[in-house]
């Protein structure tokens, strides 16, 4: 599924959060779940896809990612909780 997306991964409910952007949300979420890579998300165990938003254009996705990353942790938690109150892993919803 090639489509620009902004997403948030979490280590657990109210745990460490990672915000990213990708052109293939299925593949990227799988990589996080498998711990592929040595970056922040892998180091802190951010394996749960708790929020994502699809975009028509990568530029819009990147702009929204920057906006989310520039916001407070409280704003990120509010974004997740509004769309996903139980903090369920949304990975299976991608298929």
| pLDDT digit string (tens) for the chain, length 95 residues | 589 999 999 999 999 999 999 999 999 999 999 988 778 988 999 999 999 999 999 999 999 999 999 999 999 999 999 999 999 999 999 98
Global pTM reads: 0.95
* Total of domains in the chain: 1
CATH number for position 43: 3.40.1440.10
Q: What is the CA angle 28-61-90, rounded to 5? A: 45
Give me the domain span that covers residue 11.
Answer: 5-94
Distance CA 31, CA 20 (A): 12
Distance CA 55, CA 86 (A): 24
């Amino acid at each position: 599924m090639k489509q620009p997306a902004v997403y948030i991964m979490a280590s657990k409910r109210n745990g460490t959060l990672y915000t990213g952007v990708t052109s293939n949300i299925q593949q990227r979420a799988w990589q996080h779940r498998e711990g592929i890579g040595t970056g922040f998300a892998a180091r802190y165990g951010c394996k749960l896809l708790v929020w994502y938003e699809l975009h028509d254009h990568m530029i819009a996705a990147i702009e929204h990612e920057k906006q989310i990353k520039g916001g407070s942790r409280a704003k990120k938690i509010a974004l997740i909780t509004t769309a996903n109150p139980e903090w369920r892993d949304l990975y299976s919803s991608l298929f």
